[in-house]
Amino acid sequence: MNHYLQYCKPSLSAALTSIGLDKVYHRAEGQYLYYSNGLGAEKQVLDLLGGYGAVLFGHNDPAFRQQAVDLLQANTPFHHQFSIRNGAGALAEKLQPLLRKETGWPEPFRCAFTSTGAESVEVAIKHSEMSRGQKLELLSKQSERALEQLGLAFAENTTLSLALSEAQAMLHPELTNASSDQAIAYVSKHNASVLQQPPVFIALEHAFHGKLTTSIQLTHGIMYRQPFRRLGLRTEFVSIAQLERLCHGDTTWLDRPSLLLPKKTKKGLVLEEVAIPSVAALLVEPVQGEGGVYALTEADAKVLHRVRDMLGCPLIADEVQSGSGRCGSFLAGSQIGLKPDYVVLSKALGAGLSKLGVVAIRSGQYAEGFDILQSSTFAEDEMSCQLAAAYLDRLAEDDGRALSTVRELGEALLVALKELHQTYPDVIKDIRGKGLLLGVEFQDQDHAPAHLIRTSAYQGALGYLLTGHLLNEHGIRVAPPASAGNVLRIEPTILLTQQQIDELIYALERMCLALRYQDTGYLMHFLVHDEPHPTKEPKDFRPWYASLGIEQQYSQPADSKVAFVNHLISSDWLRQVDASLQHWTDAQCDDLVRRFAFDKRVAPFAPVRMQSSQGQTVDFILYPINSTSQQISEQLENNQLEPLRAAIDERLAAAKADGCKHAGLGMFTSIVMNNGKAAQTAGISLTTGNALTIAMAHEALVNAAQDRGHPIVSAAVIGAAGNIGSVYSLLVAEHCQQLILVGSGRQGSVKRLQKVAYQVYQAEWESLQDPRQPASGIASVLQNHQELIANWLSQMPDKTAGEAIFDWCQQYLSVGPVLISTDVAAISQADTVICASNASDAFIDIGMIQQSAIVCDIAVPHNLSDSVLGARPDIRCIRGGIVQTPHNESLDPRVRAYLGEGQVYACMAETVVLGMEQYPTHYSYGNLTKGQVKWIAQRAREHGMKLGKVKVSESM
């Protein structure tokens, strides 16, 4: 196993593998990265990601590399902390004119060096809070002085009282009629608590400022921030429009606490309200990289300046990615006239070789003493600082030729991308960015006809799939920004050529065509083939999707929505789901399913509207998980249920969030969820659908017996002690003269079988007592001995009738009507066999089955394998009931499996019926009863669901 996967990033590595990004790069030069293709051949990749913006002049730029080598060879000190560090000083000095020119501030900037972007942001945060703290200190002193004065004033004049405004009287009722001591104590406590309040930070929507414990709270992407929400900063994420409204007095979203400062005025003693600097900083990225590539405008900059002035807080420009020349000027902000108080830089400033960051703070805002409090072992090292200084020199060379190259290349790329956008507006939504920091946003594929493409979008992974495609099919490296899975970010180096722009556009164009044509097979080709796509020509699958007639639009919402969790029968069924995979082999389909196992969420299918014959409508929605029956069986066998359970719980939660009130656990998911009982999701009514499955199978069995021409005389139930088997035993007991209950022979099996026998006798005896019902089945056998049994029962008051009859039969009949056995061979005595045993493989020897027997096998997986049935055409094997829908409503043809038009499986129909009934709680959940089976069968009939074709072959 790869050590990176094993010891460093197990989940990320799995994700990389799932989309073909699991390359091991061994060499980097200029615009290229190199990996070995596994057969020893070196593959060259055009890197248009540039180390997420950290490599502007190319990988291992020869001059910077030589400089690093020289510095190492000269034994340049690396670790000489706590001394005068000339390299840092020289770099800071070199930054001065640039910072002044680009920000417009005339004053010097103090520079705090770090090693990374997030560290730099954290240093900026720390500094802003220190500087706010200093202001609060002054206010605290002012408050103390004012309170002292108040005390003196009260001492001088005991009749003096506070003149409160109406609003103050409302907000501070304690002050009305307070004594002088009480008033002083109250104001003092109020002020102390206001001064203690933690700072607020303001960041923009789509912001990304790092992933450390503090900076993560300034990063808008919820996925990264949410798990750490208890750790840190109070942040308000706002739009520029919201900030504009703030300038016009809308402070609804921003708490602005005030101190109460007593003051003598002509009106008497008043409490002056002085707002504290509650906001520590306003952070912006002039061009947001990770949030989806959004650039601020000149108008935005003006709003930001006004808000900064109004709140009295520093404006921090996080130019970690956009700065250091990436956008065509040293600071991207200078292009929109942004005048930040702090500038944060990192990434490219290190010349692509060193890890360096810096926070430059204009001296007018610098908190004296901060530099004593802030340090870091690796910051200010000589080599990083000298490389960064050389990087700045390179930017300045030839009158800033590098920067103009960035602008020109950026423009050429932008124009080419915009042309592509014009040709494919149905696929590309927007082209954005500045200089060599560009983004291509794709149209949502949330409603894509091709379900695998739709699923990629559903998982927020479309951009990653496209990234894998570009890398593997075209040898081009890009990536989505951290928080925008629908965008491809393009950050090439300055070495980019027109020919490479053309290559990129060619590759993107093929990809756009594939998306337009919904050619999943083309897009995903790379995932299951060693060689790139032979023709690079996507095919048009739109006619196929149009022919399916799916995605009906309804003018009215349904009365209720129900979800049904299912999974793939086997991976080759993918070919049914997507015609573009029709030439894929079983192994390739398997490979795809395995790769995608990383994220088991599959996009829900479009709702199928079902209407009861009584009028109620239900939208039936499939919420599949990406697993096959075989994979689930293996996990069941190995008792590795947790990942599956988590995936099913997630499906239930998603269904609930989409407004489903009922959910059916289909196929193997009901077993995995222990008949629903292992599900964690509250607020959604669950069913396994087992009750109607039994009812329909039972109806089919009775019909089959009629067709056969002779009734059921002796029935055997395999797995009779189980949940389904016991209920089925009770039902079939109503028809047969002899019932053989077969158990596994595992510990306690006989006892459990006996219990079922008691229940059968009990139910049959009770039915005998009902004069309205003619006796049938086991009851008719008991009827032959009714008087003797009644007499026996009267002598056994402590036992239930069922148990007592069981005893009686044992004592007085040579062969009772209900027998128990732990030997499966007992089925050879039966003309009808019901299979409901929970075994992982088919285990019934077909030779044991009587000539012309009916077998009803509703076990999942089946107890009797399809493969042996061929040898015994005399046996009629029923696999379970298929239900005919009330108005021929049909599942999406891509997921019908063995079903035809107008058909659903009984477990699906049960879920629909519960939706039609708006049934308030779980139904087939945990232990089933005969009553449940009869009730749902009755309701299903009333809603117009009928027994359809009988399922006769394997379907799982």
Minimum CB separation of residue 294 from ligand PMP in Å reads: 12
Q: Residue 122 interacts with ligand PMP (CB under 6 A)?
A: no
User: What's the start-to-end Cα distance of the chain, in Å?
Assistant: 33
Instruction: Note whether 519 binds ligand PMP by CB under 6 A.
Output: no
Single out the segment in contact with ligand PMP by CB under 6 A; choices: 315-323, 413-421, 513-521, 575-583. Answer: 315-323
Helix %, strand %, coil % for the chain, to 5? 45, 20, 35
CB atoms within 10 A of CB 646: 11
Give the one residue of 25, 52, 228, 843 binding ligand PMP; rule: CB under 6 A.
52
Stretch that binds ligand PMP, among 177-185, 284-292, 511-519, 748-756 (CB under 6 A): 284-292
Closest CB 283 distance from ligand PMP, rounded Å: 9
CB of 39 to ligand PMP, least distance (A): 34
Question: Cβ 285 to ligand PMP, closest distance in Å?
Answer: 5
Looking at the Cβ atoms of 488 and 805, the one nearer to ligand PMP is 488
Query: Judged by CB under 6 A, does residue 351 bind ligand PMP?
Result: no
- Does the footprint of ligand PMP cover residue 318 (CB under 6 A)? yes
Task: Label residue 202 exposed, middle or buried (CB < 10 Å: 0-12, 13-18, 19+).
Answer: buried
DSSP at 479: B
Q: Do the Cβ atoms of 708 and 876 come closer than 8 Å?
A: yes
User: Binding segment for ligand PMP among 317-325, 420-428, 515-523, 601-609 (CB under 6 A)?
Assistant: 317-325
Q: Is 346 in the site for ligand PMP (CB under 6 A)?
A: yes
Mark 182-211 with x for binding to ligand PMP (rule: CB under 6 A) and - for no binding: --------------------------xxx-
3-state secondary structure labels for all residues of 250-285: CCCCCCCCEEEEEEEECCEEEEEEEECCCEEEEEEC
Rank residues 344 and 495 by Cβ distance to ligand PMP and give the closer one: 344
Q: Which is nearer to ligand PMP, 322 or 560 (CB)?
A: 322
Neighbours of 525 (CB within 10 A): 24
CB of 397 to ligand PMP, least distance (A): 26
Does 45 bind ligand PMP (CB under 6 A)? Our answer is no
What contacts 658, CB < 8 A, 6 or more positions away? 561, 563, 604, 621
Name the minimum Å distance from CB 207 to ligand PMP.
8
CA 213 → CA 227, 379, 662, distances in Å? 11, 19, 40
Which of 244, 290, 590, 764 touches ligand PMP (CB under 6 A)?
290
* Positive/negative CA dihedral, 393, 396, 398, 402: positive
Q: Measured between alpha carbons, how far is 336 from 302 in angstroms, rounded to an integer?
A: 9
Interface with ligand PMP by CB under 6 A: which range of 113-121, 610-618, 855-863, 926-934? 113-121
Residue 378 or 598: the one with the smaller Cβ distance to ligand PMP is 378
Residue 121 makes contact with ligand PMP by CB under 6 A: yes
Q: How far, in Å, CA of 490 to CA of 338, rounded?
A: 24
Q: Using an 8 Å Cβ cutoff, are 330 and 395 in contact?
A: yes
Out of 13, 31, 217, 321, point to the residue binding ligand PMP (CB under 6 A): 321
- Separation of alpha carbons 415 and 602, rounded Å: 37
Closest approach of Cβ 392 to ligand PMP, in Å?
19
Helix and strand numbers (H, E) in the chain are 32, 33
Query: Closest distance between ligand PMP and the C-beta of residue 405, in Å?
Result: 22
Of the candidates 398, 426, 372, 907, the residue with the CA atom closest to the CA atom of residue 693:
907
Q: Which range touches ligand PMP (CB under 6 A), out of 285-293, 331-339, 676-684, 842-850? A: 285-293
Written as one letter, the residue type at 571 is: S
d(CA 466, CA 512): 10
Cα–Cα dist 940/914, whole Å: 9
Min dist. Cβ of residue 60 to ligand PMP (A)? 19
Pick the closest to residue 566 from 667, 678, 676, 691 (CA basis). 667
Output 320 or 859, the one with its CB closest to ligand PMP: 320
Interaction between residue 214 and ligand PMP (CB under 6 A): no
491 binds ligand PMP (CB under 6 A): no
In 346-487, which ranges are continuous DSSP H helix?
370-373, 382-423, 451-458, 462-474
The verdict on 631 binding ligand PMP (CB under 6 A) reads: no
| Number of residues located near ligand PMP, criterion CB under 6 A | 15
Q: Compute the least distance from the CB of residue 908 to ligand PMP, in Å.
A: 47
The SS3 assignment for 692 reads helix
289 binds ligand PMP (CB under 6 A): yes
Using CA atoms, how far apart are residues 91 and 111, in angstroms rounded to an integer? Answer: 9
Among 118, 348, 417, 665, which residue sits at the site for ligand PMP (rule: CB under 6 A)? 118
Q: For residue 878, how many other CB atoms are within 10 A of its CB?
A: 22
339 binds ligand PMP (CB under 6 A): no
Residue 929 CB, nearest approach to ligand PMP (Å): 59
Rounded (5°) CA angle 211-215-219: 75
Note the helical H segments in 813-852.
Answer: none
Q: Two tokens at 927?
A: 């232990």
Binding site for ligand PMP (CB under 6 A): 52, 116-118, 121, 208-210, 285, 289-290, 318, 320-321, 346
